[in-house]
A and B are shown apart, each in its own frame.
Chain A
Amino acid sequence: MSTYSLSDGLASGAPRLSRAPLLAIWIRDSGVGVLASIAWIAFGLSCLWWEDVGDWSRTHSLGIAAFVIAAIALFGTVGVDYLGAAGQALHKRAPWLVALGAFLTVWEVATAKFAWLPLPFFPPPQAIIEVYTDDLPKLLDSVFASVKLQLGGYLIGATIGFLTGISIGWSRAVGYWVHPVLRFIGPLPATAWLPIAFFTFPSSWSASTFLIALATGFPVTVLTWSGVASVTNAYYDVARTLGARPSFLVLKVAIPAALPHVFVGLFMGLGASFAVLVVAEMIGVKAGLGWYLQWAQGWAAYANMYAALIVMSLLCSGAITLLFSIRERLLVWQKGTVKW
């Protein structure tokens, strides 16, 4: 970075190269990184300076960790030329590091140190860290249960939705029978089925899988169908004059042409199924992050709730990132796809 700025300075007139512009350039390029380091030092100090108003065991380690992050930010900024891609990545995220450090400092001071926010409801950062270290086995079990349930239901729903959508879009007879059912049942929120599903299915796990599949399947079906329906006839004409059989028309023309729509459906289905997953876990399934939330609420363990919420949001965001990267791979031929 500084080599670039140096040549920049030289180009703008070597004789005028004095200390002041160099300093200005240095501040422009590295100032944010230094600021990030300062913010995290402040967070570390805020952990260690005052006594906690409550009894938390991770305050000291958290302060040390903050100093370590501050040091990494500083060295990363100073040595950006030698760190290659990692240095660039850090440089790009420096403003966020500043904001995060500042936020954590305020949070720490407002909760653990002076209790400006009412305490049991707003736990300090170290309380959440404590959950991650001390309650890890249970949290991991819950994550595992949620992922398993979500993945199973989603894959079933997406597959059935995709196949149904293709069939409705392709065959008039299938459309005749399935379309009215779809219109009648589809718009109903899947959670409305909850009480019935927990009665009629042999286990709460199968009931939840069914509900997640239902929530996923509806948008996937509708969008796959609309994707197939919107394929221009010109594509079929071309394929037919080149000797394509019906199976070729479905597999090599209709499906690839509909794929952009299908991914919109998969994206919407993912969102809908997250909601069902959490509700199902809270009400029926005695496992998973939804259940963990419910359980933490029962014990007024607010730190556990925040900890579970953070994990949940990371998982949901990760799932959507995964979906988008698959889409990017399959739809390279499209111009102007949105980066998630």
Chain B
Amino acid sequence: MVAAALAEIATHPAAGAALDIEQVSHAFDIDGAELPVLSDVSISVEPGEFVALLGPSGCGKSTLLRLVAGLDKPKAGRLREDEERIRSPHPSRVVVFQDPTLFPWRSVWDNVALGLEAQGILRSQRHRVDAALDLVGLSSFRKAYPHQLSGGMAQRVALARALVNDPKILILDEPLGKLDSLTRITMQAELVSLWQRKGFTTLLVTHDAEEALVLANRVIVFSDRPARVKADIRVDRPYPRHRGDPYLADLRRQILGLLGLDATW
């Protein structure tokens, strides 16, 4: 069923886009005082790369994702998607936010259909909504309202709502954070296979170094706020990866060290 759903979504191959984050700095005004959040961040992402962003809580990861999405403008620096300046949101860059933020007045199906409806193509593309719901295993909840879902289910709906749009860059802000460990592992595998089939560029924020290493082919570690790029690590391992892989365990120890945990971990 999942394979069929994948095939369904993948009928319109949209290769990934390149993403250039050039010397981006950002700050917020809190009560007149300036709170620097990003400091001279430069990351160049190849089309189709899977990049994981790791960093201490509150360092500015979500802020960076908002800039990439085009929801906010950076105080300094430039962001480009395929050489084109990012000035406003565009459905080619879809975000799965840290909170699922489903619309409570819409059923699950209508929530997933949101993007297609907003772009005015829902009428001819209804099957894509069904396929995306199949993919996250929530077909039987299509008529439920968000308040009838568990936290993990809501997060899966949010994922389906993003995937249905065939993004060129998929931006994920701890999308699997609320899932139980079993569903989480399944969804990780699902995500990898989806990414491999469709080739979109992926930007994934996570707190979990292991998750980053199982999923991404590049892990970027940020410093404390204001976030700077502390390390940019290539993960050259074929998929599917195994959690017990000594190479990954070694990288994990290295990353946890960068995040300030000592080597006994």
Please give, as numbers and ranges, the residues of chain B lying within 8 Å of A256 by CB-CB distance: 103, 105-106
Task: Evaluate whether A333 and B147 lie within 8 angstroms (CB atoms) in the complex, with A237-B71, A256-B103 already known.
Answer: yes
Distance (whole angstroms) from the CB of A180 to the closest CB of chain B: 28
Q: Give the contacting residue for B105; candidates A237, A239, A257; CB below 8 A.
A: A257
Give the CA-CA distance A333 to B114 in the complex, in Å.
17
- Chain B: residues with Cβ within 8 Å of the partner, total of 29
Give the CA-CA distance A245 to B90 in the complex, in Å.
11
Task: Evaluate whether A239 and B114 lie within 8 angstroms (CB atoms) in the complex, with A333-B106, A334-B104, A335-B147 already known.
Answer: yes
Q: Are A239 and B118 in contact (CB under 8 A)?
A: yes
Please give, as numbers and ranges, the residues of chain A lying within 8 Å of B90 by CB-CB distance: 243
The chain A residue with its CB closest to the CB of B148 is A335
The chain B residue with its CB closest to the CB of A259 is B105
Q: Is A160 an interface residue (CB 8 A)?
A: no
Q: Is B99 an interface residue (CB 8 A)?
A: yes
Q: Are B118 and A242 in contact (CB under 8 A)?
A: yes
Please give, as numbers and ranges, the residues of chain B lying within 8 Å of A335 by CB-CB distance: 147
Q: C-beta contact mask, B101-114 vs A, less than 8 Å → 1, else 0?
A: 10111110000001
Number of A-B contacts (CB under 8 A): 69
Give the CA-CA distance A181 to B70 in the complex, in Å.
37
Q: Give the contacting residue for B94; candidates A232, A241, A257, A334; CB below 8 A.
A: A241
The chain B residue with its CB closest to the CB of A249 is B118
Give the CA-CA distance A241 to B164 in the complex, in Å.
13
| Chain A stretch 202-248: residues in CB contact (< 8 A) with chain B | 232, 234-235, 237-245, 248
Please give, as numbers and ranges, the residues of chain A lying within 8 Å of B118 by CB-CB distance: 239, 242-245, 248, 252
Task: Evaluate whether A242 and B105 lie within 8 angstroms (CB atoms) in the complex, with A234-B99, A237-B71 already known.
Answer: no
Q: Is B156 an interface residue (CB 8 A)?
A: no
The 16 listed contacts between A and B (C-beta, < 8 Å) are: A232-B101, A234-B99, A237-B69, A237-B71, A238-B114, A240-B71, A240-B88, A241-B70, A241-B91, A243-B91, A243-B119, A244-B118, A248-B117, A259-B105, A332-B145, A333-B147
Beyond A234-B97, A238-B101, A335-B147, list 8 extra A-B contacts (CB 8 Å).
A237-B101, A238-B114, A241-B69, A241-B94, A241-B95, A242-B165, A256-B103, A257-B105
